[in-house]
Each structure stands twice: as structure tokens, then as C-alpha cells.
A = this chain, B = another copy of it.
Amino acid sequence: MGADDNREIERKWRVKTLPEDLERYETIEMEQAYLNISPTVRIRKENSDFCLTYKGKGEGISHTEYNLPLDREAFYHMLPKCDGRIIKKTRYVIPLEGGLKAELDIFDEPFKPLMIVEVEFKSVEQAGAFIAPEWFGEDVSLDQRFKNAALAISEDFSPEDML
């Protein structure tokens, strides 16, 4: 979760080149799917943890977000109710300067070889002042196609268009 008021401020980028020695970073195996797109109602498995996430309709790079615990049974009960496709990806958590973290998502089939990197900020000012590392590609924060929810329900997804 983000700040006390449950506001999340995030930017996201394509990936130009992968950082070296990825295996030294913390990884999270994620599986997620959507009960609703807007507002977003998502269920997610993170390694052996499960949660329900609600994301309010945001503006630009900011939105409200609540992460609420689920158990395995609840997750698998709701999974067949979800829209479109299940997203599976491996997240690498890569420390950046200033206490920030890059979350590098490497998608599994059918979204492979898609990769997206996200950074969460404490304020809109901090987000604006951020200078992306060399390995980050184009900023796609406002490109709706790169929302995981949009990917899940896209019918004409072509990974090559998104690289």
C-alpha cells in the first residue's frame, strides 16, 4: 500500500535492456486476474500469499488502492469468476538510489516476451523529479494498453507491439 491515505503514485516504463545478474534480486511469482476493470477489483497470488486489491478510478499516475488479505481457498474460489486471461509474471525487486525500488515484471505466456518496470513514489513531486536508470525504456505510465487489467481482457494482444 502507498501513503496513509491509500493513494498510490506510480510510473511505468518499457525495458530497454535487462539489468545484469537478475538472480541476485528478490523475486515474487505473481498470478493475478480481474473481477472488474474500472474500478479495478483484482485477485493476486504473490508467492504463497493472496490478496484482493481495489483500485479507485485515478487520474494520471495516482489512484487510491486497498490491498486486503485473502487465503488460498478464497483466491481459487474467485479465479474462475475473473474476466479474460490470468496474468502470470515474475517480479524482480531491484533497489534504486534514494530508497526507491524498481519492480521489474517479466511476463509469462501468453504475454511473453512483455516486460514492464514500475516505480512507486511518495509524492507526485518525487515522481516528476525521478531520473530513470539507463536500462529503463519509454515511459508508458499513461498508456492504457500497459495496464495489467487491459492486458487481461485484451482480445488482440500482440506482444511484439508492446516491446
Chain A residues at the B interface, C-beta cutoff of 8 Å: 35-36, 38-39, 41, 52, 54, 56, 66, 68-71, 74, 77-78, 81
Pairs A–B under 8 Å by Cβ, sample size 9: A35-B81, A36-B77, A36-B78, A38-B74, A39-B52, A39-B69, A39-B70, A41-B78, A54-B68
The reply to whether A39 and B81 form a contact with Cβ atoms under 8 Å apart is: no
> In angstroms, how far is the closest chain B Cβ from the Cβ of A70?
7
Which B residues lie within 8 Å of A74 (CB)?
36, 38-39, 41
Q: How far is the CA of A78 from the CA of B38 in the complex (A)?
A: 12
Q: How far is the CA of A56 from the CA of B67 in the complex (A)?
A: 12
Which B residues lie within 8 Å of A52 (CB)?
39, 41, 54
Which B residues lie within 8 Å of A38 (CB)?
74
Q: How far is the CA of A43 from the CA of B66 in the complex (A)?
A: 16
Chain B residue at minimal CB-CB distance from A80? B81
Q: How far is the CA of A68 from the CA of B36 in the complex (A)?
A: 13
The reply to whether B77 and A56 form a contact with Cβ atoms under 8 Å apart is: no
> In angstroms, how far is the closest chain B Cβ from the Cβ of A23?
35
> In angstroms, how far is the closest chain B Cβ from the Cβ of A82?
8
Which B residues lie within 8 Å of A68 (CB)?
39, 54, 56, 66
